[in-house]
Amino acid sequence: MLVMGIDTSTTQGGVALLSGQGVICEYTLNIKATYSERLLPLIDRALQDAGITLGQVEGFAVAVGPGSFTGLRIGLSTAKGLAVVGGQPLVGVSTLEAMAWTLPFCTHQVCPILDARKGEIYSALFRHEGDRLIRLMDDAAIAPDILLRRIQQPTVFLGDGLVVYEGLVQSQLKELAFFPPLAGRGGRPAAVAELGRRRLLRGDRDDLVQLAPQYLRPSEAEFKRLDKFTPVGSS
């Protein structure tokens, strides 16, 4: 089954085409240009370079977060549009789960962290058992200190949250903290494609109307709107 994976959760995202024979192509960028500028050109290039038409894609997988609110909306709306045009099934994939999937057969638990700003991170905990990924903690928006206090065993950390919090993780966990090389710290669209392909092969498909980004907390605009309508003197 030929699947297109789309990941726009963080600045490091892109597009991949994957089949039962492996990754056909994968394009990943980590630049400041918005996904409204770069996503469709990446999709077009992937299809052209692979010599594949959109109609040959048998299913779509899209990262649904947590992550960048704007990026997630662009990725999900694009994936939905492509699925509607061709009538192919679409499934959503947890961004953090897809990141943990990139470290197969890791003997330690895996902790992806994304910078959620406002002093928080998006995070979860996973463990690999053979070719299965076992979730140990639900996706959460959490203060780094609270997460680190929960970790009592060797853990591999990855994700863009390390840009801000690697020093904190190292100082608090010391020999319990492990970090992949720079090339292995970000997400991969091919991981989204593979996890999505597994679901599609089981016959899963998400409802295009109901499938939504997993924000985990209100957006900045929603925070401002809530503040605006909070009664004076309320606690």
Name the average pLDDT for the chain.
Answer: 92
The yes-or-no verdict on residue 3 having pLDDT over 50 is yes
- Across the chain, how many H-helices and E-strands are there? 7, 10
Spatial CB neighbours of 146, under 8 Å, sequence gap ≥ 6 = none
DSSP 74-142: HHHHHHHHHHHHHT--EEEE-HHHHHHHTSTT-SSEEEEEEEEETTEEEEEEEEEETTEEEEEEEEEEE
**Interior/surface letters 161-179, b for 16+ CB within 10 angstroms, e for the rest:** bbeebeeebeebbeeebbe
Mean pLDDT of 110-128: 97
Predicted local distance difference test score (pLDDT) of residue 217: 80
Over its C-alpha atoms, the chain yields an Rg (Å, rounded) of 18
Q: Phi and psi (nearest 5°) for 186?
A: -100, 175
Predicted local distance difference test score (pLDDT) of residue 220: 52
Mean pLDDT of 152-156: 97
CA 178 to each of CA 58, 137, 152: distance values in angstroms, whole numbers, following the listed order: 38, 19, 13
Which residue has 């058992």 as its token pair? 129
**pLDDT (tens digit, 9 = 90+) per residue, 167-187?**
999 999 999 999 999 999 999
Please answer whether residues 31 and 136 qualify as being in contact, where contact means their C-beta atoms are separated by less than 8 angstroms. Answer: no
From the list 54, 18, 14, the residue with the least C-alpha distance to 31 is 14
Predicted local distance difference test score (pLDDT) of residue 233: 45
**pLDDT (tens digit, 9 = 90+) per residue, 184-213?**
999 999 999 999 999 999 999 999 999 999
pTM: 0.91
Which residue has 């909070």 as its token pair? 230
Predicted local distance difference test score (pLDDT) of residue 63: 98
The yes-or-no verdict on residue 223 having pLDDT over 50 is no
The yes-or-no verdict on residue 29 having pLDDT over 70 is yes
**pLDDT (tens digit, 9 = 90+) per residue, 89-99?**
999 999 999 99
Percent of the chain clearing pLDDT 90 (strictly above): 89
Residue 26 host element (H or E): strand 22-30
**pLDDT (tens digit, 9 = 90+) per residue, 69-90?**
999 999 999 999 999 999 999 9
Predicted local distance difference test score (pLDDT) of residue 219: 54
Question: Whole-angstrom distance between the N-terminal and C-terminal Cα of the chain?
Answer: 54
List of domains in the chain = 3-95+187-226 (3.30.420.40), 103-184 (3.30.420.40)
Confidence of residue 27 (pLDDT cuts 50, 70, 90): very high
Predicted local distance difference test score (pLDDT) of residue 33: 79
Sign of CA dihedral 126, 139, 191, 167: negative
Q: What is the DSSP letter of 11?
A: S
